[in-house]
Amino acid sequence: MTGNGVSGTVGIHDLSFATTRFVLPHTELALHNGADIAKYHIGIGQRAMSVPAVDEDIVTMAAAAAAPVVARHGTDGIRTVVLATESSIDQAKAAGVYVHSLLGMPSAIRVVELKQACYAGTAALQFALGLVHRDPAQRVLVIATDVAKYDPDSPGEATQGAAAVAMLVSADPALVRVEEPSGLFTADVMDFWRPNYREAALVDGQESISAYLQAVEGVWKDYREKGGRALGEFAAFCYHQPFTKMAYKAHRHLLHCCGEDTDDAVVDRVLGRTTAYNTVIGNSCTASVYLALAALLDDADDLSGRPVGFLSYGSGSVAEFFAGTVVPGYREHLRTAAHREAVFRRRPIDYAACRELRAHSLPADGGDHLVPTQTEGPYRLAGISRHKRLYEARCGLSRHP
Ligand code: CAA
């Protein structure tokens, strides 16, 4: 442990993300609802949203994100898989068990699913760090995977999206060493929620923004009280980005609370490199803050040895602020080309096609139903039979691409 509370040997060793087959540009949404496109491009900072094919879901995206991690590092020492999601497909069985099976992982592994809106990916990361601290020979596969769905023609519709991030947490990490102090905040608010009987989330948009800002204040106060770094030490901040403008609102709020300069240039310098993926993928909920990290590592100038702040917010609400130091040599371990390819290979669709895909749901009659092949990803939802979801690796593709 260093004087700054850096637990130098534990953190994120590898990071890979996957998204969907289709993409809806916000220009198409604006054509449908008559909104000024500047409201989306400038007002909320979004240009496009990922839309799952009928045979894609949180499991297929999670497996697609995790497969390259398992292919590079193998499964030795992985005794835990934690999958975080707020768009769960089953009330009992953990989605990670399907992922474990698709990836052909050994049976001597515990698999569990975590939920607390968009925050749960960070809970998964923190629990993984704890396990590795306890036994540094172990590695933990953390997966954050979500499909954000709001009612058609609601204000939230512009902030839909979908993606999965897989991270290998280990001792002596190659990418980011996670530091020990965390700032924590919980408040019982109804800003965004999804009752079990609904597919789409309910949200009070303005209340959700206020609740996020209140949480920013709360986590920062606690972080500093726990001995965390000063604001000026950070090279960048990865915020949860339900829409990328939210990161700017949040950081300005933090600067204002700390009595600091809130100039555009100051804010842009520490946020500008964190938005490239979220602005074209949309809200990926639990994955969003780690897509911000992926963008930062893939896009920024060399960050070796520099501290990065992470602010994770999940409606309802729970939030956490923590810091990580970027490990010298990290650039050799990045997956920049694959990440950009995942974004650029999506097929653009118009609003009517998006609405049709969104309306698709699996029959709930207990019969046998096949799902048409649409995805070009490595794994697909093949059908449902007697209420059991059936997943498969796509024909001709190896299980471990
Ligand atoms: N040119 C430029 N800017 C424009 C514009 C134009 N022509 N028209 C509007 N704008 C700006 C507005 O001024 C506004 O910016 P400010 O907030 O900085 O003032 C922005 O565009 C959005 O405009 P509105 O507030 O009028 O938009 P809206 O009523 O349609 O709702 C929203 C926006 C509340 C974010 C809505 O999309 C929503 O409910 N989203 C889901 C909830 C959400 O993402 N909340 C974030 C915090 S909660 C969280 O983080 C957890 C989570 O993942 C859900």
- Residues 335-373: pLDDT tens digits? 999 999 999 999 999 999 999 999 999 999 999 999 999
Answer for the pair 15, 173: CB distance below 8 angstroms, yes or no: no
pLDDT at res. 300? 86
Domains and CATH numbers, the chain: 10-399 (3.40.47.10)
Distance 3 CA to ligand 1 centre (A): 41
Protein residue whose Cα sits closest to atom 11 of ligand 1: 43
Is there a catalytic annotation at residue 240? Answer: yes
Answer for the pair 88, 58: CB distance below 8 angstroms, yes or no: yes
Ligand 1: does its nearest atom lie under 6 Å from the Cβ of 45? no
Distance 159 CA to ligand 1 centre (A): 9
Position in ligand 1 atom list of the atom nearest CA 241: 50
The dihedral formed by the CA atoms of 190, 240, 327 and 307, expressed in degrees to the nearest 10: -80
- Residues 81-103: pLDDT tens digits? 999 999 999 999 999 999 999 99
Ligand 1: does its nearest atom lie under 6 Å from the Cβ of 202? no
3-state secondary structure of 117: coil
Q: Which residues of 353-390 are buried (b: 16+ CB within 10 A; e: fewer)?
A: ebbebbeeeeeeeeeeeebeebbebbbbbbbbeeeebe
Give mean pLDDT, residues 17-36. Answer: 98
Nearest to 243 by CA among 292, 184, 170, 302: 292
As a whole-number percent, the residues of the chain with pLDDT over 90 amount to 95
Protein residue whose Cα sits closest to atom 28 of ligand 1: 155
Ligand 1: does its nearest atom lie under 6 Å from the Cβ of 242? yes
Ligand 1: does its nearest atom lie under 6 Å from the Cβ of 318? no
As a whole-number percent, the residues of the chain with pLDDT over 70 amount to 96
Give the CB-side neighbour count of residue 162, counting CA atoms within 13 A.
26
pLDDT at res. 200? 94
- 316 pLDDT band, cuts 50/70/90, is very high
Q: Given a cut of 80, is residue 237 above it in pLDDT? A: yes
- 8 pLDDT band, cuts 50/70/90, is low
Distance 264 CA to ligand 1 centre (A): 19
Is there a catalytic annotation at residue 238? Answer: no
Give mean pLDDT, residues 58-64. Answer: 98
Q: CA 228 to CA 78: how far, in whole Å?
A: 30
pLDDT at res. 166? 99
Distance 97 CA to ligand 1 centre (A): 36
Its sign, for the CA torsion 33, 38, 40, 44, is negative
Mean pLDDT value across the chain: 95
Q: Given a cut of 60, is residue 313 above it in pLDDT? A: yes
| Backbone φ, ψ for residue 176 (5° rounding) | -135, 125
Is there a catalytic annotation at residue 118? Answer: yes
Q: Is the pTM of this model over 0.85?
A: yes
Mutate which of 159, 193, 194, 202 for ligand 1? The one with the most ligand atoms within 8 Å of its CB, which is: 159
Could you please report the per-residue DSSP string of 185-243? Answer: EE----SEE--TT-SSBEE-HHHHHHHHHHHHHHHHHHHHHTTPPPGGG-SEEEE--SS
Q: Given a cut of 80, is residue 6 above it in pLDDT? A: no
pLDDT at res. 115? 98
